[in-house]
Structure 1
Amino acid sequence: MDDVVTEELLALERRGWDALCDATGADFYGEVMTDDGLMVLADGSVMDRAAVVTALGASPPWHHVAMDDVRLVRAGADAAVLVYTGRAWRTEEEPALTAAMSSLYVRDGGRWRLALYTQTPARAPSAGV
């Protein structure tokens, strides 16, 4: 069961990044996010669905994205978190945004919806936990 859920959520997450790369992210996330969904970004901003749609409508597209070390964490029968290391480039010349990313999806009416997305900026490894 987790393999099926992982495949479904990974495909949905990739569709979201594809939308961010082809400048249709506002439409995609306006549809996929729950009414009370939030995004917590690497710069510390916290945006509700309306703010996400507005921001994405005015943002330049991403050039390309890579997702590595993908893991699934079940959060009940109808919820799961996709956790991965994401790297996203605005242009070929600029350094990538590299962050630990997580997307909490909930099943709503038979389809997966994004309830919470977070980015935690990557940093150099430390000696401690």
Structure 2
Amino acid sequence: MDIDELLQLERRGWDSLCSGTGGEFYGRIMTPTAVMVLANGMVLDREAVAASLDKAPPWREYSIEEPRLVELDERSAILVYTGAASREDGEFRALMSSVYTRTGDQWRLALYQQTPLPEAG
């Protein structure tokens, strides 16, 4: 299993959030039963994610720092990293985990989870 392949997919997701196409991207890549557990305490299914991202302001920039791959088996893995992003309404920094599962020849997102980091003081 190659971390670069999943990092590329994760970056495509962030790129979609920057271009305003996140709803379409995540609506397509998430498994039918996937959820996102967000830093604000919300848990959203695929349809709710797509709908909320269609209305969200785009991110200006993002970074993926210290990525690690946790292999579960040959068809599933967790990409763990520190993510940071900024847009007009502020900045966001969190520990992020994306659980991917392989269906056929495509990786699909089964779970995404954010843990906010305390602001540097």
SS of the equivalent of 1:28 reads helix
**In the alignment, what sits opposite 2:105?**
110
- Aligned mate of 2:116, from 99, 121, 128: 121
Structure whose CA Rg is larger? 1
Residues 1:85 and 2:82 are matched in the alignment: yes
What is the total number of aligned residue pairs between the two structures?
Answer: 120
The one-letter code sitting in structure 1 at the alignment partner of 2:68 is R
**In the alignment, what sits opposite 1:54?**
51
The one-letter code sitting in structure 2 at the alignment partner of 1:39 is M
Aligned-residue CA RMSD (Å): 1.3
Structure 1 unmatched runs, 5+: none
Write the deviation string for residues 33-84 of structure 1: whole angstroms up to 9, x where unpaired.
Answer: 0000000001010000000000001111111101101000001110000000
| Higher strand content, 1 or 2 | 2
Structure 2 unmatched runs, 5+: none
TM-score (norm 2): 0.95
TM-score (norm 1): 0.89
Trace 1:20-99 onto structure 2 (pairs within 5 A): 20-91=17-88, 95-99=90-94
SS of the equivalent of 2:26 reads helix
